[in-house]
Homo-oligomer: A and B are copies of this chain.
Amino acid sequence: MIDDVLHFPEFARGTVWLVGAGPGDPGLLTLYALDALKQADVVVYDALVGDPVLALAGADAVLEFAGKRGGKPSPKQPDISARLVALAREGKRVLRLKGGDPYVFGRGGEEALALVAAGIPFRVVPGISAGIGGLASAGIPLTHRNVNHAVTFVTGHSAAGDVPDSVDWEALAKGSPVLVIFMVLTHLAEISARLIAAGRPADEPVAIVARATLPDEAVLETTLADAAAAARTADLKPPAMVVVGEVVRLRQGLDWRGALA
């Protein structure tokens, strides 16, 4: 039955697949992602991809780390792209595995453009974004009838490490009833202050979700005014994301992980 319906593409030698690994729980891999792990010769993975996911790679696959690691300088993006090209030119089946989805603040577009420029065929396999699946795990619906018809994903961290200048926080504060902020812990105090200055209530509910979908997932419910201090006190482990908006209140009823535990 499965074989009638599912057609797994052949992972051709000399090609690169950009694959999302989802938020962490290996059960949230897609069927395509699992198949890619089994077929790949080399898995080039970033820091958000955990051991349980990597354990699903084929026994002969080479696992190559390409992320940031405490204290050491991280590989530059052009170096990673060049490495993908070089591996493909060696005739390898190259799986570029990224946490979440490769095209949601994952710099997958830059890598894909580098592959195109080098004439390397590629494929994209989307993954569950932590901004969606991680919140569901925490008991928070991204949208809810009569609460919000829009939700914005925004990064709290530019490539240079600052709060992104190009983000119009005032307009977002006005237009987006729910904000999901990625890579935010460093600049949470500044971002919260900007949102409050733009008119968001200081007591607006906020959830900070750390290590979403993993066994040590932690969820902190707080307010916009208190969020940065609460995150510091709780000493949350990365990765973490922040949700701002009334949907956070629904967690009181919808914390299914808490209810099943």
Number of copies: 2
Q: Are B124 and A256 in contact, CB atoms less than 8 angstroms apart?
A: yes
Shortest C-beta distance, A126 to chain B (Å), equals 4
Partner-contacting stretch, out of A39-47, A68-76, A84-92, A97-105: A97-105
Q: Are A253 and B116 in contact, CB atoms less than 8 angstroms apart?
A: yes
Q: Which residues of B contact A259 (CB under 8 A)?
A: 121
Within 8 Å by CB of A31, from B34, B55, B123, B167, lies: B34
Q: Which residues of B contact A26 (CB under 8 A)?
A: 5-6, 31
Residues of A115-171 at the interface with B, using a CB-CB cut-off of 8 Å, are 116, 121-129, 132-133, 135-137, 140-145, 148-155, 158-159, 164, 166-171
Partner-contacting stretch, out of A106-114, A221-229, A233-241: A106-114
Q: Which residues of B contact A153 (CB under 8 A)?
A: 142-143, 150-153
Q: Are A123 and B256 in contact, CB atoms less than 8 angstroms apart?
A: yes
Query: How many residues does chain A have at the interface if contact means C-beta atoms less than 8 Å apart?
Result: 85
Residues of A152-198 at the interface with B, using a CB-CB cut-off of 8 Å, are 152-155, 158-159, 164, 166-177
The closest CB in chain B to the CB of A122 belongs to B256
Interface string of A25-39 (1 = CB under 8 A from B): 011111110110000
Complex Cα–Cα for A59 and B1 (A): 9
User: Considering residues A56, A106, A136, which has the most beta carbons from chain B within 10 angstroms of its beta carbon?
Assistant: A136
Cβ contacts A to B, 25 pairs, < 8 Å: A1-B59, A5-B53, A6-B27, A8-B27, A29-B31, A101-B133, A103-B132, A103-B135, A103-B136, A103-B141, A110-B145, A112-B253, A113-B254, A116-B254, A123-B256, A125-B136, A126-B132, A126-B133, A127-B128, A145-B159, A149-B164, A150-B153, A166-B177, A171-B174, A171-B176
Which residues of A are in contact with B by a Cβ distance under 8 Å? Answer: 1-2, 4-8, 22, 26-32, 34-35, 52-53, 55-56, 59, 101-110, 112-113, 116, 121-129, 132-133, 135-137, 140-145, 148-155, 158-159, 164, 166-177, 247, 250, 253-254, 256, 259-260
